Amino acid sequence: MAASGSTRPTLPHPSLLPGVDALDPYGAFVALMPDGTGSLAPQGVLGGVSLAVKDLLVFGDRVPCCGLSSIPFHDLGPSSPVVARLVEAGASLAGYTTLTALAYEPSGINHDGTRPLNPWHRDAVCGGSSSGSAVAVAAGLVDLAVGSDTAGSLRIPAQCSGVASWKPTFGLLSLAGVMPLAPSLDCLGFMARDVGLLERVAGLFAPEGQEVKRVAVALDLIDGCEPEIAAMFERTLRLVQLLSIDTDNVAVRPLLALADGPVFQLLQGEACRSFAPLFDQDILPPDLAKRLQKGASVSDADLAQAREVLGGLQEEWSGTLFAGHDCLLLPVMPVTTPTVSSCTQGHPDFAPRHLYALSEFTRFVNGLGWPAVAVPMGLDARGWPMAMQLVGPKGSDRALLSLAKRLQALRGDLDRPVSTSSKHAGKIAS
């Protein structure tokens, strides 16, 4: 399906996953179910919904590899109750999706240079670490995907791949059976093209919420954004106002600055501890091991202090920012979706700033435990998707999704690429 006046190229298969080429032309999956776990008959709340799961959790007898190719991760605990609940509600499991190694990279490019192919354009990163989940949904291979988010790993690929995502309130979804990265920040969450489907999923896990009546607008962030992101922000603000929702400009850059240090300490320090048993086994790629071991310099006292600081910020800003507002509106990232070359170390076009910018507006949310919903809100001049995010206080998940659904309806059906052949989606989902 192409937007008026534009065409979408038919992209070649990236040849990343031998053996599933015919069913997975974008390299989104590491394993496909032979027949799914059930039919696609409309039974249950999620009846007829095809499901993909990020390969970092245990479900049934599946032992995940967590982005490290053929290295299985045993001893992650029991089968995920979150995936079990989705299947019980009628979702049909199509397979397990690829991710960046140990979920520790934001662009979707793996340590060996492989990546799922972004269905929008071969030169665009697909976002990480929930890269395969985003691509599977964006390409129309499945309806719904489970991902994880530690510093933006649902919302970043949501923008890059042109899908919607829901990062729940911290602690709302069980992490049983899930690979720990930074436990103080980790969340499971979901991706879909339609926010309405995310609403149906939320009904399984989250209590009903109040309607959003007043929105805080992070206008102070816009000066640091690329012009196309700023223009998208302004268009979205007008749509919010069309819904007769009151808006107020607020300054949130001070909050991002205060949260960044503690979040990075938790991310680096806890990740190092999570994977310390692997260091002596000499099985990690050297560059990944080097990055993880940087967290060894973060002491236990540093981690405790970081948690204390973030807890104080959460309490303070929940009492000010959300005292008179139901949610915060801001872009997912300050930049348009980067190219693969600009995010590939060693490439002449490599721009470290792009890697930092991918999570610049997302990681504070994990540090404060707030829920967030990303929703596509237009295309840049290249025809690549851009997205806004709605952030709210703890427990406001369904209120955020409700507003995102209304915005998506006003925005219209964003032009989305489809698989190279419509029969692929049917084969994977059935």
pLDDT in tens, 177-225: 999 999 999 999 999 999 999 999 999 999 998 899 999 999 999 999 9
Determine contact, residues 394/187, Cβ cutoff 8 Å.
no
- Kindly tell me if the per-residue pLDDT of 62 is higher than 60: yes
In this prediction, residue 3 carries a pLDDT of: 27
* Interval 76-90: pLDDT, tens: 999 999 999 999 999
**Residue 359 neighbours by CB distance under 10 Å:** 24
Q: Do you find a cis peptide bond into 129, omega within 30 degrees of 0? A: yes
* Domains by residue range for the chain, with CATH: 29-429 (3.90.1300.10)
CA distances from 199 to 154, 275, 353 (A): 16, 34, 34
* Interval 148-175: pLDDT, tens: 999 999 999 999 999 999 999 999 999 9
Residues 118-122 have a mean pLDDT of 94
Task: Flag the least confident range among 18-32, 88-102, 395-409.
Answer: 18-32
* Averaged pLDDT of the chain: 89
Residue predicted with more confidence, 5 or 70:
70
Integer Cα distance of 206 and 185 in angstroms? 19
Give the rounded percent of residues in the chain with a pLDDT score beyond 70.
Answer: 89
Q: In the structure, what pLDDT confidence band is assigned to residue 23 with cuts at 50, 70 and 90?
A: confident
For residue 135, give the nearest of 231, 3, 17, 271 by alpha carbon.
17
* Interval 216-274: pLDDT, tens: 999 999 999 999 999 999 999 999 999 999 999 999 999 999 999 999 999 999 999 99
In this prediction, residue 280 carries a pLDDT of: 85
In this prediction, residue 221 carries a pLDDT of: 97
Residues 381-392 have a mean pLDDT of 97
Task: Flag the least confident range among 17-21, 98-102, 128-132, 325-329.
Answer: 17-21
Q: How many residues does the chain have?
A: 430
